[in-house]
Chains A and B, each alone.
Chain A
């Protein structure tokens, strides 16, 4: 039955140039309207499917192999650099233990610092961005148009390229070499882009929501805080994650503004760690890199759908 079906379709496809136009069109339209299940695929569709699969498998291999090499390195005993087999013969968790042992490596401190800076900046950013985006979406006020234009202009300039000025600024206010200083510096940078995102999201919510809250006697702040804000949770999550990932990945500013090793973040700490004595540190580094990557990867994968739509919205709006 299956053979016969696909045979018929193949015959139709091959005969297309020679047979009468009308008959072919009807046959094709029928084939399309039936909605092909897997067993009804034409031979050329089967061929395309399998060629696609093989190409995709090659790319999957290219994605998996580097990750696997890191995992293997983290599980190999001693400071052996040789990858001998897929499952290391001298399997050991010593490098994982080293990551969590403050006497062996400083990775826990770096992770903690990254979590503090990224987490507190992200929370503050969400608050600032939400109020700003909401005001630009809902309120009419003097200077609104120029304010929006300023937001767009600000986001065009790569703020981290003013690292020399930021150094001087933090030095002057006495926060150079502190985690608080980093939070202040990072807080300003991401606001324009994210406020723009948030404004777009609130624009899509019906105004009736607040109007009915006003009728019930709510103040503007209550209408925002109790009615609108809970509805914007997806966008708040997106902004929280954008900010967190951005700070987690920052090297240029953190490295320039922080010189005390006990204040290093993961990116700065790990770079120094692997650049000094590569052979000795490689396996510990591998375990540390995995530990450092897991929280971000989980955040990302859990909120994937929201992140993708958020990014798309941001890209279209500039």
Chain B
């Protein structure tokens, strides 16, 4: 930074001098981004066209181009295993986003009640799951939901309601229960963020709007539908879209809980595998690095286009025109 041009006089600003100074300011960050983000992304595209795997170790033998073979393989295996992963990725992201948003909005609506003097205490307690580091929390949940020894099942099996005994629920070991658990745990630490966001949006709505409507005879539901909801939608829709994009790529929520499993024998994908965890397992378990990079590109395109749509919606680009 010190190497760039000396300060020009404040009034007679030269564009070039300004530019040099600015490049000094942004240079280090550009360097870091090029090294740690841009080059790796370009290199990922490169590796996707090679056969780097356990049998063709590129680190020893060098890279060997195979054209579109990896993408061909994805297309061929699409019916067999990948289709299920793609569908579950979409189902997981959709359900997670809707449940987290629904719970968050519902609780925010209840908490946004001026007649409840202790609401700030409730809010602070409900925000706890968000304050805890997610990775540690999810790992703790794997213990809580352990089929044989987990506290949840130990509590459940001590309940005897006549002939009904819930016994040991295979929370993480049965495909459908595991899917349920992944979404439930994600909701547990995901709803406080949505709740906070909705609460902020609700509090930003001027109260005299509602009071005026009340004077005009509008009921609670009418006021909610005609005033609260439209204003809330404008404030939270960008948030919902970016949460959806985030959940499509929510590696930790799935991998740390189930590692994508349970996996049926002979299948390359597990019941809770989303595209990022499936890709990760391709690399780390099967050493299919080239194939994993091909999948990474698909994920880039998938999430990149969603983010672009979201930015278009929130009109971030218009800021650039200034």
Residues of A within 8 A of B (CB): 16, 25, 28-29, 32, 36, 38, 41, 45, 48-49, 52-53, 55-56, 59-60, 62-64, 66-67, 69-70, 73, 81-83, 127-129, 131-132, 134-136, 139-142, 144-145, 147-149, 152, 154-166, 168-169, 171, 184-189, 191-192, 195, 211, 214-215, 219-221, 224, 245, 248-252, 255-256, 266-267, 270-271, 274-275, 278-279, 282, 285-286, 289, 292-293, 296-297, 300-301, 304, 308, 311-312, 315-318
Tell me which residues across on chain B come within 8 A of A41, comparing CB atoms.
115
Residue pairs across A and B with CB atoms within 8 Å: the count is: 309
Q: In the complex, what distance in Å separates the CA atom of A168 from the CA atom of B44?
A: 10
CB distance from B312 to the nearest CB of A (A): 9
A132, B32: Cα distance in complex, Å: 12
CB distance from A238 to the nearest CB of B (A): 14
| A318 lies within 8 A of B307 (CB) | yes
Report whether A189 and B37 are in contact in the complex, using a CB–CB cutoff of 8 Å: yes
Task: Identify the stretch in B86-94, B132-140, B159-167, B262-270 within 8 Å (CB) of chain A at 4 or more residues.
Answer: B132-140
* Complex Cα–Cα for A260 and B149 (A): 30
Whether B320 contacts A148 by the Cβ 8 Å rule is: yes
Cross-chain contact A83 with B299 (CB below 8 angstroms)? no
Annotate B300-321 by CB proximity to A: 1 below 8 A, 0 otherwise: 1001100110110010110110
Closest A residue to B210 using CB positions: A32
> Which residues, 87 to 120 on B, are CB-close (under 8 Å) to A?
103, 107, 110-111, 113, 115-117
Pull 7 A–B residue pairs with CB atoms less than 8 Å apart, ordered by A: A83-B151, A140-B13, A152-B317, A161-B276, A164-B44, A168-B58, A286-B143
Residue pair B40, A131 in contact (C-beta under 8 Å): no
Do A163 and B211 touch (CB < 8 A)? no
Contact of A145 among B44, B214, B308, B320 (CB under 8 A): B320
What is the bound-complex CA distance between A234 and B307, given in angstroms?
27
- Residue B256 lies at the interface, judged by CB distance under 8 Å to chain A: yes
Q: How far is the CA of A32 from the CA of B209 in the complex (A)?
A: 13
Contacts of B129 in A (CB 8 A): 63
How many angstroms between the C-alpha atoms of A214 and B7 in the bound complex?
9
Q: Does B131 contact A (CB under 8 A)?
A: yes
Say whether A318 contacts B314, CB under 8 Å: yes
Decide: A191 and B32 in contact? CB cutoff 8 A: yes
The answer to whether B137 touches A293, judged by C-beta atoms less than 8 angstroms apart, is: yes
B37 close to A188 (CB less than 8 A): yes
Is the beta-carbon distance between B256 and A157 smaller than 8 angstroms?
no
Interface size class of B (residues with CB under 8 A): 35 or more
B238 in contact with A316 (CB, 8 Å): yes
Q: Chain B residues near A160 (CB, 8 Å)?
A: 251
Question: Of A59, A164, A318, which contacts B47 at CB under 8 A?
Answer: A164
By the criterion CB–CB under 8 Å, are A187 and B36 in contact?
A: yes
The answer to the question of B18 belonging to the interface, with a C-beta cut-off of 8 Å to chain A, is: yes
Q: Do the beta carbons of B125 and A60 come within 8 Å of each other? A: yes
Interface: B232 (CB within 8 A): no
Residues on B with beta carbons closer than 8 Å to the beta carbon of A69: 144, 151-152
Chain A residues lying within 8 Å of B26, measured Cβ to Cβ, are 131-132, 135-136, 147
Question: How many angstroms between the C-alpha atoms of A60 and B99 in the bound complex?
Answer: 17
Please name all residues of chain A whose beta carbon is closer than 8 Å to the beta carbon of B154 when the two chains form the complex: 81-83
For residue B279, which residue of chain A has the nearest CB? A161
Given A165-B41, A308-B196, check contact A25 B215 (CB 8 Å): yes
Which A residues are CB-close (under 8 A) to B141?
66
A140-B18, A188-B37, A282-B149 known; 17 other A-B pairs, CB under 8 Å? Answer: A38-B117, A131-B26, A141-B15, A158-B249, A162-B296, A163-B283, A164-B52, A164-B289, A165-B47, A191-B29, A215-B10, A252-B276, A278-B146, A282-B143, A282-B146, A296-B131, A315-B238
Q: Contact check, A318 vs B242: say whether CB atoms are below 8 A apart.
A: yes
Of the residues A73, A214, A289, A308, contact of B139 by C-beta under 8 Å: A289
B40: min CB distance to chain A, Å = 4
Contact across chains for B40 and A162 when beta carbons are under 8 A apart: yes
Bound-state Cα–Cα, A189 to B242, Å = 17
Tell whether, in the assembled complex, residue B21 and residue A166 are in contact, meaning their CB atoms are under 8 Å apart. no
Closest to B130 in A: A300
Say how far A156's CB is from chain B's closest CB, in angstroms: 4
Is B255 among interface residues, defined by CB-CB distance under 8 A?
yes
Least CB distance, A71 to chain B, in whole angstroms: 11
Q: What's the nearest-Cβ distance from chain A to residue B167, in Å? A: 16
Q: Which residues of A contact B29 (CB under 8 A)?
A: 128-129, 131-132, 191, 195
Min distance, Cβ A65 to any Cβ of chain B, angstroms: 9
| Interchain CB contact under 8 A, A317 and B319 | yes
A311–B197 CA distance with the chains assembled, in angstroms: 9
Known contacts being A158-B249, A220-B7, is A278 close to B40, with CB within 8 Å?
Answer: no
What are the 8 closest A-B residue pairs judged by CB atoms, nearest first? A188-B36, A214-B10, A135-B25, A141-B19, A156-B307, A141-B22, A139-B22, A318-B311
Say yes or no: A165 contacts B22, CB within 8 Å.
Answer: no
Q: How far does the alpha carbon of A195 sit from the alpha carbon of B7 in the complex, in Å?
A: 23
By a CB distance below 8 angstroms, the chain B residues around A164 are 44, 47, 52, 283, 289, 292-293, 296
Bound together, the chains give a CA A159 to CA B296 distance in angstroms of 10
List residues of chain A with CB within 8 A of the CB of B149: 81, 278-279, 282
Q: Are B127 and A191 in contact (CB under 8 A)?
A: no
Residues in B with CB closer than 8 Å to A63 are 125-126, 128-129, 188
